[in-house]
Chains A and B, each alone.
Chain A
């Protein structure tokens, strides 16, 4: 299957939605491809009571003449020239043929994922990411009456706590690894964005019954005691309690879920595959959100973790710029420095305490796909060396989970992305691209939105 677009947007979170709307409103044929079953990204994930802003953007997105390919993953780049290129995408529904997405301009709005750090017991069922548990609940996981410990770092913790509380969960503790002093400058930066400050205050009010600990993190997740050998239908171990650590003190809290995420890691795999310049982990762009590669723009978290407002702004700039509305894009980009200042303050507030490197013991699994333990990784010379000699990062997640941990634990940076970007059916890699769609693209009739 072949599809032609003037502008292809990868990612249907705030940045991708804003980019697609900006481009489509300028009369261009726009396609948006996203792995999730519905648009909104992680922050506006389908669920109860989306915020007003989210509803407004979603409505505009629904109304825009945009081809939405939800439940599709980009797996490879078949061609890239200054005039455009072809990405291949695979559908999450088995049996559907892959699609070749031809574009003149490409906007990467691939978002971010949580950073996970290994600690004893973190592989137990019911230990999830903070955003992970939130997503599961929005996907229908019953949480009412469940005891939840939320841990890690970043503003996501409070937002998730508020969301889970609203769903009837009993959030028994929020553990932020940073100190108050470390977070204070962020509050100052927030004074320039009263909306965010108000939102934070609302979250804290909603979770006012829950103790909020700073400089606190999970030392271990504990399983239900094993019933011992011989018992029929032996129950699988699952989370029973969490041992928390704060300034040399440890105590144990009983809980049903531990939601733990250490801020965010940008999704830069596609940018890396395309060869765009990445510096300190983030995609480098100019003020028009153009990457180092002609025909490729990038917006949102991959350029710096700045939150939803920055993503919306960058998405609009990228969409306008890619649509040739340079002046409008330039006017908008004047608002970026303030957003970038917030992103920098956020990064400092979420800087990880070096003592978190000591959480994992030798037996703690770091790579969950291949069950590679900490002891095997100590002494390896780098990410590639670790991959080759321990299988770390060689499983289906392709290092998306352990890579972020290894970066913090050992200072290793991941190498170039390989195709397929996500595990893909062998058959999806068998066919060559249908040729010469791009040359004729401007004269093709628009594809009806699906």
Chain B
């Protein structure tokens, strides 16, 4: 398992996983920021294009990912928490 880091990693950093890759981020980091440290994209569009966050404020829905098995979460509006499992670009697993 590879490991990536986001900026300002302190001793208090939070560890979560993005598509199975362990990521460490500073407290207060959004899930969107964590995802972008692993991959450039968050979702696949309906015609198959890779997409990544656009608005950063919860209105464009480009940053949607699965979090702990729940699909369609806006990763820019949710803060990372320890042990979170984030999945990108997949078909929605049925809740």
Contacts and interface: CB of A to CB of B under 8 A. Distances in A.
> Do A and B assemble together?
yes
Interface of A: 35-37, 42, 46, 71, 92-94, 113-114, 116, 123, 125-129, 131-136, 139-144, 236-238, 267, 365, 368-371, 395-397, 400-401, 423
Contact of A129 (B29, B40, B46, B56): B56
A126 B52 contact: yes
Contact of B32 (A136, A144, A395): A136
Given A139-B33, A369-B46, A395-B46, 8 more contacts: A126-B40, A134-B56, A139-B32, A139-B76, A140-B6, A140-B28, A141-B7, A369-B61
7 contacts: A35-B58, A131-B56, A136-B53, A142-B6, A142-B7, A236-B50, A400-B59
Contact of A123 (B32, B49, B55): B49
Size category of the B interface is 35 or more
Contacts of B52: 125-126, 128, 238
A11 to B, nearest CB: 12
A159 to B, nearest CB: 14
Contacts of B26: 140
B47 interface: yes
Contacts of B77: 35-37, 71, 92
Nearest to A42: B57
Contact of B57 (A36, A71, A126, A237): A36
B30 A423 contact: no
Given A142-B37, A236-B40, A396-B64, A113 B57 contact: yes
Contacts of B85: none
Interface of B: 6-8, 25-26, 28-30, 32-34, 36-37, 39-41, 45-47, 49-62, 64, 67-68, 70, 72-74, 76-80
Nearest to A259: B56
Given A368-B45, A370-B46, A46 B28 contact: yes
B30 to A, nearest CB: 4
B11 to A, nearest CB: 16
Contacts, number: 137
Interface residues of B: mostly helix, strand, loop or mixed? loop
Contact of B45 (A94, A128, A371): A371
Contacts of B64: 396
Nearest to A370: B46
Contacts of B50: 125, 236-238
Interface residues of A: mostly helix, strand, loop or mixed? loop
B76 A135 contact: yes
Contact of A114 (B55, B68, B72): B55
Contacts of A94: 67-68, 70, 73
A368 B60 contact: yes
A140 B34 contact: yes
Contacts of B57: 36, 42, 113, 131-132, 135
Contacts of A71: 77-78
B56 A123 contact: no
Contacts of A395: 46, 61
Contacts of A92: 73-74, 77-78
Contacts of B39: 236
Given A133-B56, A136-B36, A140-B33, A368 B79 contact: no
Contacts of B56: 128-129, 131-136, 139
A46 B52 CA distance: 21
Contacts of A42: 57
B49 A113 contact: no
B26 to A, nearest CB: 6
Contacts of A365: 49
B76 A125 contact: no
A179 B66 CA distance: 44
9 tightest CB-CB pairs across the interface, nearest first?
A135-B56, A140-B29, A139-B30, A125-B52, A140-B33, A132-B56, A125-B40, A371-B47, A142-B7
Contacts of A131: 55-57
A136 B77 CA distance: 10
Nearest to B27: A140
Nearest to A35: B58
Nearest to B31: A139
Contacts of B34: 140
A144 B37 CA distance: 13
B95 to A, nearest CB: 8
Given A396-B64, A397-B59, A140 B54 contact: no
Contacts of A134: 56
- By CB atoms of chain B within 10 A, which of A127, A132, A401, A423 has the most? A132
B20 to A, nearest CB: 14
A233 to B, nearest CB: 12
Contacts of A133: 56
A127 to B, nearest CB: 8
Contacts of A144: 7
A46 B57 CA distance: 12
